[in-house]
Amino acid sequence: MNKLQMFSRFCFDIIYPNRCPCCDEFLPWNEYICSKCREKVLIDTNELCGKCGKRKEDCICGAVLKYDEAVAISYYENEAKNALISMKNSSNKNFGIFAGEVLGNIINKKPEWKSCDGIVPVPMNRWNKILRGYNQAKVIANAISDVTGIPVMDDCLIKRFGYKSQHSLNAVDREKNTESFQPMGRDLEGMKLIICDDIITTGNTLNRCAELLKMCGVEKVYAAVAATVRRKREE
Ligand SMILES: [Zn+2]
Ligand SMILES: [Zn+2]
């Protein structure tokens, strides 16, 4: 965050006091999550498969993966789930900024990722963006960029108007729905990119975006995600 963004955050806090996106407790203006929720949501990334970004028990690498590696910082459950829903519904972007900063610190320790040319937020269609006012994947991408210095490139992919959000669809429809992403014609020959999204469920969205980027000449695609969905354990 630059000084101007910090200042506007400080002023905004006077009118709408800052709250933890997970538990709704009040927070100082310059914090994004309370310490209790931070401890609850952050996972040990060693529990995840480094290639697909799912929990090792839920690994989807058997299917053809188009991205090369993935990382997430939380499971899409409890506090993290509340926070990601509130980022969509009530404009509390704190969790996106928090997740982006944690992801950025992880990326800084991975030389392959750190040398990437850009961060590509998974696009939203224009109508949804107008309704929400922002793309939550871009909030995360901007925060990663602040920590790593890798620029955000949101002119690589577009999501065509009229398609539904992935989370509202069943597995078959999700697959078809991913057809709605398209490249924007930018020359990406030889680049290494990080795609960024809020949630990984089946991996279809990230896979489709990675596939399109590779069709444009991208060499490696890494995926940075705020939360990964874990399959329910059979009790
Ligand atoms: Zn909290
Ligand atoms: Zn895997």
- Whole-number pLDDT of residue 62: 85
Q: Give residue 223 CA to ligand 2 midpoint distance, Å.
A: 13
Given a contact cutoff of 8 angstroms between Cβ atoms, the answer to whether 199 and 229 are in contact is yes
- Whole-number pLDDT of residue 176: 66
- Give the Å distances, CA to CA, from 233 to 28, 48, 230: 37, 16, 9
Given a contact cutoff of 8 angstroms between Cβ atoms, the answer to whether 30 and 17 are in contact is no
Query: The pTM is what?
Result: 0.88
- Whole-number pLDDT of residue 192: 98
- What digits encode the pLDDT tens for the residues 151-161? 999 999 999 86
Domains held by the chain: number: 1
**Which ligand ends up closest to the CA of 223?**
2
- What digits encode the pLDDT tens for the residues 218-233? 999 999 999 999 987 5
- What digits encode the pLDDT tens for the residues 7-30? 888 888 888 889 999 999 999 999
CATH of the domain at 136: 3.40.50.2020
* 91 alpha carbon, distance to own chain's centre: 16
Q: Give residue 74 CA to ligand 1 midpoint distance, Å.
A: 14
Q: Give residue 79 CA to ligand 1 midpoint distance, Å.
A: 8
Q: Is the dihedral of CA 153, 158, 161, 163 positive or negative?
A: negative
Q: Give residue 230 CA to ligand 1 midpoint distance, Å.
A: 22
- Whole-number pLDDT of residue 4: 83
Q: Is 55 left (phi over 0), alpha (psi -120 to 50) or beta?
A: beta
Q: Is 151 left (phi over 0), alpha (psi -120 to 50) or beta?
A: beta
Q: Is the pLDDT of residue 141 over 90?
A: yes
Q: Give residue 161 CA to ligand 1 midpoint distance, Å.
A: 35
Tell me whether residue 71 is in a domain. Answer: yes
Tell me whether residue 94 is in a domain. Answer: yes
Tell me whether residue 29 is in a domain. Answer: no
Write out the residue range of the structural domain in which residue 97 sits: 46-228
Single-letter amino acid, residue 148: T
In the structure, ligand 1 is a single-atom ion and the residues with CB under 5 Å from it are 20, 22-23, 34, 37
Tell me whether residue 99 is in a domain. Answer: yes
Tell me whether residue 152 is in a domain. Answer: yes
- Mean of per-residue pLDDT scores for the chain: 90
Q: Give residue 177 CA to ligand 1 midpoint distance, Å.
A: 34
Q: Is the pLDDT of residue 178 over 80?
A: no
Where residue 179 falls among pLDDT bands split at 50, 70, 90?
Answer: low
Tell me whether residue 30 is in a domain. Answer: no
Tell me whether residue 18 is in a domain. Answer: no
Place of tokens 């269609």: 125
CA dist., res. 216 & res. 218, Å (int): 6
Given a contact cutoff of 8 angstroms between Cβ atoms, the answer to whether 198 and 136 are in contact is yes
- What digits encode the pLDDT tens for the residues 185-206? 889 999 999 999 999 999 999 9
- What digits encode the pLDDT tens for the residues 74-102? 999 999 999 999 898 877 899 999 999 99
Q: Is the pLDDT of residue 235 over 50?
A: no
* Residues forming a β-bridge with 137: none
Q: Give residue 207 CA to ligand 1 midpoint distance, Å.
A: 32
CA dist., res. 109 & res. 123, Å (int): 27
Q: Give residue 111 CA to ligand 1 midpoint distance, Å.
A: 32
Tell me whether residue 17 is in a domain. Answer: no
